[in-house]
Structure 1
Amino acid sequence: MSDRLSPLHEVHAAAGAVFTDFAGWQMPVRYSSDLAEHKAVREAAGIFDLSHMGEILVVGPGAAAALDYAVSGRISALQPGQAKYTLLLNDAGGVLDDLIVYRTGEDRFLVVANAANAGTVAGELRGRADRFDAQVHDESDDVALIAVQGPRALEVLLNTEGFALDGGHPDGEDVADALSSLRYYRALAGNFNGSAVLFARTGYTGEDGFEIFVSPDAARALWGALVEAGAPFHLVPAGLAARDTLRLEAGMPLYGHELDAETLPVQAGLGRVVDLGKPGDFVGRAAIEKGPAPEASVLVGLRGEGKRAARADYPVRDESGATIGRVTSGALSPTLGFPIAMAYVAPSHAAEGTVVAVDIRGTAHPYLVTPLPFYKRKKTS
């Protein structure tokens, strides 16, 4: 049952949003058109409500060491203001969640978890941190999260009134200079009309963009200011449907589709996210070092023809009709104009250029194994 509402729920309803149940939350799936919202993010900018995500603080003198033990990446190597994509593994090396960890101070880290897993992540982190001088606080109810994504995202933020840096910036930059120079996977503390915010140059769309953490009390005013500032840049509200096709085109995994507790990171193409070079033990290390069975399926990209899209859990078959895998995510790509999918298949059929068949409601449709991601944004100089 969906009984949790975003602090922006009334704003979405007034904008004509259609809602869906997502991890126990009522969240906008679309406002007008999935395609129009997707196109806006690729060509201009879209604004997303991500307040359903989990935010967990890990603080204390042993916080960095605790996170090194708790997750797959070397969190202690982060400098304040840096962020890292990482994985929370179980003892068998399977993925309990994929996370972004921001180092917001010398002994202070913000862990962002998927909505469905926030409670699990908080509990696991508490258990794993108990041997260290660190405390874990689940602050999910005290944080709203708004994302502005797209090639004009920076322009939207620079045009938004009310942003400032707390106490100035060490090198004398103002907020416009600081946001303009903020690099990918970096974060910057500031405020919006006196309310504390954290600007992060991160996202889940394959485009440039920002995610802004703010108190729920200030979320409506911030959303309104961003929408007003974004009007000249064709900013539109975007829902979960557009977010899903955007991340699929960008080859970004979604927990519960490409990632789960039975799948090792290397199977999902995320072996690089596990730092076996860091000193000491971490949860799942022995299983990761052992690796999956030789016949374990691996994640691939699939490109189809025509307009019929593969969907999650559709069977993937070889030339003889034998099942060799399953689709995890699929759609007709709004940007590219042809069907795309991610799927787990047997290693024998994972090579680029291999032709497989996806069973779409009883009919075999040819798909070509193709590299991920399907789409890469053009980098500006």
Structure 2
Amino acid sequence: MTETAIHEVRPVFETPYERRGVISPGLPILPHGVERHPVPGGGSRAVQIDAGDEITVMDREGLQPVELVFFAPDGRSDAGLIGARGGHAPEGLRAALTGDPSGRRVARALDAAGFDIGRADAVRVFAEGSRAGDMASFHAAADGLLIVCAPGEPMSPEAQDTPTEVVLYIRRASPGPGKGGRAAPAPLADPLQDFNIQPGEARGYEVRKGQYIQVLDVQGRECSDFQAFSLRALDRGIEREIDPTATRSLMGSLYPAPGIYAKYYNVDFEPLVEIVQDTCGRHDTFGLACTARYYEDLGYPGHVNCSDNINADLARWRVRPRGGWPAINFFFNTMLDDANAIGMDEPWSRPGDYVLLRALTDLVCVSSACPCDVDPANGWNPTDIQVRTYAADEDFRRSIGWRPTPEADVQETKQTGFHECFARHTRDFVEYNGYWLANQMHGHGAIAEYWACREKAAIMDLSPLRKYEVTGPDAEQLLDLCVTRNMARLSTGQVVYTAMCYEHGGMIDDGTVFRLGDTNFRWIGGCDSSGLWLREQAEKRGLNAWVRSSTDQLCNVAVQGPRSRDILAGVFWTPPTQPSIEELGWFRFAIGRLGDFHGPAVVISRTGYSGELGYEVFCHPKDAAAVFDAIWAAGEPVGMVPLGLAALDMLRIEAGLIFAGYEFSDQTDPFEAGIGFTVPLKSKQVDFIGRKALEERKAHPQKALVGLDLEGGVVPSNGDCIRLGRAQVGEVTSAMRSPVLGRVIALARVDVAHAAEGTELEVGQLDGQQKRLKARVSRFPHFDPTKERVKGNYPA
């Protein structure tokens, strides 16, 4: 399998923090002296090594080869220095050094050290057949620079050789004294200022217009008060600091987030700072920094507090002291309940979480590390805060931190392969599942985009859908175990829509399965949980199957609407062994190329999320612009427009298509979510996860998804209660004002006793009793209930 022995017993380096029955997966614990360094698929990473260090590489998803190169300080590259057998040229590393952002950083490190990659003695591990979680270990006999590469070429959309992440662990031979705390992670760039604030301290600092400020929670679960003053106003003796009330009013939210609504204002409505990146996403902007009064009222007179600390340090700029400072308390987890009471809990921030701000004018800033140890504000354990500032010419992209699981490494919000194509039509992008997606097009708007899809055609970016390659001799068995549809009935070239459930019948996700061959499948769902569930079940049950993420190797646009077939027919070529666009049946896919035999490869499926005739086109991100431009050139002359999330939501509600967190969750089964047709309990004889629970739930239904027609023109919100008299009998899941139907409609989950068509109900607002919207259970779905349009049968 490899040229280096793999551990028979896999060491577990990371464990969730746990104390007396309280588990915190978001605070993973590494043994003292162990470091963790993720290496992206197709990328590389360089780490300084000391003699005696133990080096361990883990293949996270399986089937990912790894190359290691070690350079001694004198420039020698010798695999024997880490106890390995080399003798290979670093072919994968050479490609990664130029083709991946992580590789370019490694290339700079090699150049700075004067190391010649052309003379490298590479070690190869996980050459073939590695399983998810396999590890290989080495010991360093000398100091040096270690480079780890997870090589891989761009994945063709019809292939399944996706490069995936590996993890490098370093167990330091001499980790230093340490007290169990973590060191601050590396700066985002060369900092102008870089200082640590211990709990119970505050520090002021000046920042010039355009410069960046990073406030970083080093250990996790620690709050940091932040204030900023206009320096020009201070020079005139005027104090104009961030005002939380003005900011909330102008932004329409408790705290700004990266994107359009990202700024903090003073009472003169002057913007002082804007949020550029935020890896935590939960902060406080409606309370004071902790005060002496707060601790005195709790029985702790004389307790150190942030307000007094801020007063003391801001005295250098002659800022008048205050009993309590209104501040932006980053990472402070406060909330307002239904009775308007302010509550708090432990912060959501994890080790290394940060907020990156940009100064919009010259500022005096102050940051603290909150000393509170008498309530959950800092998890009863105050720790340190790191503050760094960076030059104005640094290029930091806007990003909202994304983690597929609580313990996973934070990821920046990504741009899809089609991002620049849609950016030609709008600057209105919103974060969706870790990606920036267009919301509305400046030249059209949601209503115009909607009508284009209903009457002509529209193109939309659906790249954030999660793609997983499921391969191996037991791939069909694994999917049969984990999804509700019957995989034995799925032909090569066919797609099936299905649900994935837990043992109790609650839904993990809905999605589609593509069959690419006898033992080759592709799962496309809405969230990473479904792919992780597949991999977990394969390992748990000892199945000979691999589940590898290909989301970043496959981006996809949907072309939907009555003219979609005609548009695509002239754009894509398919070989004689594959159906043409005109021949492609509903829930079938074809492998083709853009233009002709020599064009970029694509997979085209006759699927969509609009209720119209439509297709999805999958390609590698490197080919996305060419694919989009060709479709646009064919579609624009016949009325095709780009479409964003706002219009897509309207289309899917009318068509009765469900959305995670609205129509379904792990508390609802497929029957309650309105997709009971995906659970063929009679024709699928093999057992699958959740079958027993679903049989019981189907026999004794409690809730049903229905359509509602509403009077009065008011559009209810997700979660609004549905009542029959005083009793609540359901809730609204999604609602809209339908352009084509000319009325307000909704999807709702109601008690089966009141789910019959024609039943008169009321949607409760305010407290559910004081305001009612008259509603009637209607035919479902509201638009094209027999699916004639999606089949391509349009009325003359």
TM-score interval (norm. to shorter): over 0.9
The reply to whether residue 348 of structure 1 matches residue 753 of structure 2 is: yes
Deviation at 1:369, TM superposition (A): 0.1
In the TM superposition, residue 321 of structure 1 has moved relative to its aligned partner by 2.9
SS in 1 for 2:671: helix
Match of 2:467 in 1: 55
Report the residue type matching 1:258 in the other structure: E
Give the Å deviation of 1:17. 4.0
Do 1:70 and 1:129's aligned partners in 2 also have CA atoms closer than 8 Å? no
Q: Distance in 1 between matches of 2:735 and 2:502?
A: 27
How far off its partner does 1:371 sit? 2.0
User: d(CA) in 2 for partners of 1:258 and 1:269?
Assistant: 8
The whole-number CA distance in structure 1 between the counterparts of 2:695 and 2:712 is 42
Matched, 1:34 2:446: yes
Q: Is the 8 A contact 1:306 1:338 kept in 2?
A: no
Q: How many Å separate the matches in 2 of 1:295 and 1:56?
A: 33
Deviations 1:26-82 (A, max 9, x none): 111110311000000000000001111111111122211111111111012111011
The TM-score normalised by the length of structure 2 is 0.45
Q: Where does residue 183 of structure 1 map in the other structure?
A: 585
Matched, 1:205 2:630: no
Q: Which has the higher helix share?
A: 1
The residue aligned with 2:776 is 368
By how many angstroms is 1:132 displaced?
Answer: 2.3
Residue range with higher mean Cα deviation, 322-331 or 358-367: 358-367
Per-residue CA deviation, residues 214-271 of structure 1 (Å, 9 max, x unaligned), is 0000011111111111022200000011111101000111111111101111122322
**Counterpart amino acid of 1:80?**
T
Which residue number corresponds to residue 569 of structure 2?
A: 158
Q: Which residue of 2 aligns with 1:316?
A: 722
Name the stretch that deviates more: 286-295 or 48-57: 286-295
Aligned match for 2:634, one of 210, 229, 239: 229
Residues 221 and 264 (structure 1 numbering): CA distance in 2 closer, same or farther, change over 3 Å?
same
User: Could you tell me which amino acid in structure 2 is paired with residue 353 of structure 1?
Assistant: G
Select between 258-267 and 370-379 the one with higher mean Cα deviation.
370-379
- The letter for the 2-side match of 1:27 is L
Please report how far the alpha carbon of residue 359 of structure 1 lies from its aligned counterpart in structure 2 after TM superposition.
2.2
Give the conservation status (yes or no) of the 8 Å contact 2:569–2:580.
no
Q: Does 2:109 align with 1:109?
A: no
Match of 1:169 in 2: 576
Give, in angstroms, the shift of residue 210 of structure 1. Answer: 0.5
Residue 731 of structure 2 corresponds to which residue in structure 1? 326
Three-state SS of the structure 2 residue aligned to 1:303 is strand
CA apart distance, 1:335: 1.4
- Cα distance in 1 for residues equivalent to 2:434 and 2:763: 31
Instruction: Confirm or deny that 1:74 pairs with 2:486.
Output: yes
SS in 2 for 1:145: strand
The residue number in structure 2 matching 1:16 is 426
Give the whole-Å Cα distance in 1 for the aligned partners of 2:502 and 2:481. Answer: 12
Q: Does 1:271 align with 2:676?
A: yes
Shift of 1:198: 0.5
Instruction: State the alpha-carbon separation in 2 of the partners of residues 289 and 81 from structure 1.
Output: 30
The alpha carbon displacement at 1:182 in A equals: 0.6
For 1:295 and 1:7, the matched residues in 2 are separated by: 43
Q: Shift of residue 102 of structure 1?
A: 0.9
Indicate if the aligned counterparts of 1:67 and 1:129 stay in contact, CA closer than 8 A.
no
Q: TM-score, length-normalised on structure 1?
A: 0.92
Residues 102-142 of structure 1: CA deviation (Å, up to 9, x unaligned)? 1112211111011xx1x211111112223322211111111
CA contact (8 A) 1:85 1:273 kept: yes
- Structure 2 residue matching 1:179: 3-state secondary structure: coil
State the distance in 2 between where 1:36 and 1:18 align. Answer: 16
- Conserved 8 A contact 1:143-1:214: yes
Q: Tell me whether 1:7 sits opposite 2:417 in the alignment.
A: yes
- Find out whether 1:248 has 2:653 as its counterpart: yes
Residue matched to 2:555: 144
Moved over 3 A (4+): 292-295
Report the AA paired with residue 280 of structure 1: V
Q: Which residue of 2 aligns with 1:125?
A: 534
1:288 partner amino acid: L
CA deviation string 1:330-352 (max 9, x = no partner): 00012111001011111221111
Identity of aligned residues (%): 35
Which structure is larger by alpha-carbon Rg, 1 or 2? Answer: 2
Larger displacement relative to structure 2 (223-232 or 203-212): 223-232
User: How big is the shift at 1:293?
Assistant: 8.7
1:260 is aligned to 2:672: no
- Determine whether 1:302 maps to 2:708: yes
Aligned Cα root-mean-square deviation (Å): 1.7
For 1:143, the aligned partner's letter is: L
Between 1:124-133 and 1:196-205, the stretch displaced more is 124-133
Contact between 2:554 and 2:619, CA under 8 Å: does it hold in 1?
Answer: yes
The offset of 1:295, in angstroms, is 6.9
Taking the aligned partners of 1:120 and 1:365, their CA distance within structure 2 comes to: 37
Q: CA deviation at 1:185?
A: 0.2
Letter in 2 for 1:135: W
In 1, are the aligned partners of 2:495 and 2:588 still within 8 Å (CA)?
A: yes
**Letter of the 2:758 counterpart:** G
Distance 1:64 1:76 in 2: 8
1:311/1:341 contact within 8 Å kept: no
- In the alignment, the residues of structure 1 paired with residue 760 and residue 618 of structure 2 have an alpha-carbon distance, to the nearest angstrom, of 44
> Contact (CA 8 Å) 1:155, 1:233: kept in 2 or not?
no
Contact 2:573 2:580 in 1 (8 A): no
2-side partners of 1:243 and 1:359: how far apart?
26
Q: Which has the higher contact order (CA 8 A, sep 6+)?
A: 1
Q: Would the alpha carbon gap of residues 295 and 84 (structure 1) be closer, same or farther in structure 2, given more than 3 Å must change?
A: closer
Equivalent-residue separation in structure 2 for 1:183 and 1:132 (angstroms): 33
One-letter identity of the residue aligned with 1:103: R
Instruction: Give 1:189 deviation, angstroms.
Output: 0.6
Structure 1 residue runs of 5 or longer lacking an equivalent are none
Tell me which amino acid in the other structure corresponds to 1:232.
P
Q: CA deviation at 1:292?
A: 6.3
CA contact (8 A) 1:264 1:292 kept: no
Aligned residues: 368
Call closer, same or farther: CA 1:292–1:184 in 2, change over 3 Å.
closer
